[in-house]
Structure 1
Amino acid sequence: MLQGKAAVSQAKANLRLAEINLGYCRITAPITGKIGIANLTKGNYVTPSSGALATIVQMDPVRVSYTLPDRDYLDQLELFKKEGSVYKTKLILSNGSELDVPGQRDFEDNTVDQMTGTVMMRLRYTNDSGMLIPGEMVRVFTQPVKSRIVNVIPQTAVMADAEGDYVYVVEADNSVRDVRVKLGREMGTLREVVSGLKDGQNVVVAGLQNLRPGTKVRIDTSASANEATSNSVLDETSGAEIINSGDTGTKEEN
């Protein structure tokens, strides 16, 4: 009797082992996606050393990785704090077409690349249309939900001493006085003014070495001078809209 029970138990154990081994014959993927070309076909003998049978990539959602200069990374973090994790982006695909979809904040690296001075970012996109293909090279244009207007001046207008940065502002009687300014990002030959200047103030941009507070200057208001200044500013800011008032301006950032 005991031998019979032992035989039944052994048979059940063998059956369970056979079911497990049979389960290995059915291969499943841990993700839903699109499968590539199969490396093996029906009838091939497969062992653990046979390598990958095929490659499956996830199609929806798709994650897009890109890098930002460290100074732009800090600005983007501020925007994330104000606007949340959904970020308006414009993706230009490899064929030049535009995919205008919102990107979801997914990941930011925890260090700055010392070789390039950039931080790796990653956004997540829904891909119902299938237009985004894993491994594809795309161009990412990010923009805040709300535009931000900043004051800018030519870099040549900025002087510095032990106390910090300053510029010379022209008063109503054409005399100059030095004004302390707090500067932000560089934008080509322009510099963002965080504080210290008001819209419409005239700032001296040339011959600063010979100036002292109270020095009288002559303002060139000729059309040719203004046109030249406006054109150079437009060219150097890649077409961003600039409104000049004397030698100061405002820039709308997107």
Structure 2
Amino acid sequence: IDLDRYTTLFKQDSIAKQQVDTQAALVRQYEGMIRTDQSAIDNAKLQLTYARITAPIAGRLGLRLVDPGNVVHASDQNGIVVITQLEPVAVVFTIPQDSLPAIMRTLKGAQKPGVEAWDREMKTKLATGTLITVDNQIDPTTGTVKLKAEFANPDGTLFSNQFVNTRMLVETRKDQTAVPSAAVQRGAQGMYVYVAKDDNTVTVRQVKVGPVDAGLTEIDGGLQPGERVVTDGVDRLREGAKIETAQRPNLDAPPPGGGKKGSRKKGSG
């Protein structure tokens, strides 16, 4: 304001030019002080942002690794807390290499195959997801290949490093013969089973096996529906050996003590 007034007075020849120059220099000095103060304010705001740490990802926080009051640095090895991404979460599992062609055919379809995650005892389904990728090599030691499925996990049921069982519907085969996987043995000539004959002796039967699921192995050839196979003690058997057939427990028999037989509701599947 003073500079404008002095400039007006100078134009009217009321004051000397030196007074105008002095006032202009004073204005520039004050403007420099303002810029210096603004720089200090900006630096203080920057330092204040360092007091708030923003996570680069969304996830679940673990237990803190440092206590309040400790001094932390960007170069610290352990950090402050571990964040684990759980939405979505990935599950890695393996399948036999013989099942890989069918899965690859399904993966190339319009819809990605669904994958279910179950608990250790295969009694409770935890989540449902989709298969997203297949590893590019087979483990020669185990003859398996790794697959990765992704689960939305909105309720946080699945945790990092949690052990789960997986089930994936690759294809539906109708009217197939299946036997307990314990009955299928591997020999020098391939896969075989011990078939129990009517006289309770056994004979070796070469079979062609298919997919394995839930403790059952599909038999694609060598065995007819209704034939009996041996599941226990097969390591002690030989061609023509005599066996004793174990009777399955009668689930409809009344309990000891004359109790009443309970009713069972038949579910739809």
What TM-score, normalized to structure 2? 0.54
Contact persistence 1:94–1:136 (CA under 8 A): no
1:3 lines up with 2:29 in the alignment: yes
Alpha-carbon contact 2:122-2:165 (below 8 Å) kept: no
**What are the superposed Cα offsets for residues 83-114 of structure 1, whole Å, 9 maximum, x if unpaired?**
62132x34332465421643212232233345
Q: Identity of paired residues, percent? A: 23
How many angstroms apart in 1 are the aligned matches of 2:133 and 2:218? 32
Q: What residue in structure 2 maps to residue 49 of structure 1?
A: 75
The residue aligned with 2:198 is 224
RMSD of the TM alignment (CA)? 4.3
Structure 1 residues 228 and 62: alpha-carbon distance in aligned structure 2, compared to 1, 3 A threshold: farther
Greater share of strand? 1
Change over 3 Å in CA distance of 1:230–1:90 after alignment to 2: farther
SS at match of 1:121: strand
Q: How many residues align structurally? A: 186
1:115 CA drift (Å): 4.7
Give the match's secondary structure for 2:93. Answer: strand
CA deviation vs aligned residue, 1:18-48 (integer Å, no higher than 9, x gap)? 2122111111222222211111222221222
Partners in 2 of 1:227 and 1:100 — Cα distance? 45
Structure label with greater radius of gyration: 2
Alignment of 1:1-254 (within 5 A): 1-50=27-76, 51-82=78-109, 84-87=111-114, 89-94=115-120, 96-99=122-125, 101-144=127-170, 146-147=172-173, 188-189=191-192, 224=198, 238-240=215-217, 247=222
Larger relative CO (CA 8 A, sep 6+): 1 or 2?
Answer: 1
Residue 256 of structure 2 is matched in structure 1 by: none
Distance 2:144 2:185 in 1: 24
| Structure 1 residue ranges without an equivalent (≥5) | 160-185, 191-221
Specify the SS of the correspondent of 2:198.
Answer: helix
Deviation at 1:149, TM superposition (A): 6.7
- Judged with a 3 Å threshold, the aligned counterparts in structure 2 of structure 1 residues 240 and 110 are, in CA distance, closer, same or farther, namely closer
- Structure 1 residues 146 and 41 mapped into 2: Cα distance closer, same or farther (>3 Å)? same
CA drift of 1:9 comes to: 2.0
Quick one: which amino acid aligns to residue 75 of structure 1? A
Quick one: which amino acid aligns to residue 57 of structure 1?
Answer: T
Report the alpha carbon displacement of residue 53 of structure 1 after superposing the two structures with TM: 0.3
Q: CA deviation at 1:229?
A: 7.0
Q: Against the structure 1 CA distance between its residues 119 and 7, is the aligned structure 2 distance closer, same or farther, given a 3 Å change threshold? A: farther
Aligned 8 A contact 1:243 1:249 in 2: no
Query: Where in structure 2 are there 5+ consecutive unaligned residues?
Result: 1-26, 179-183, 226-269
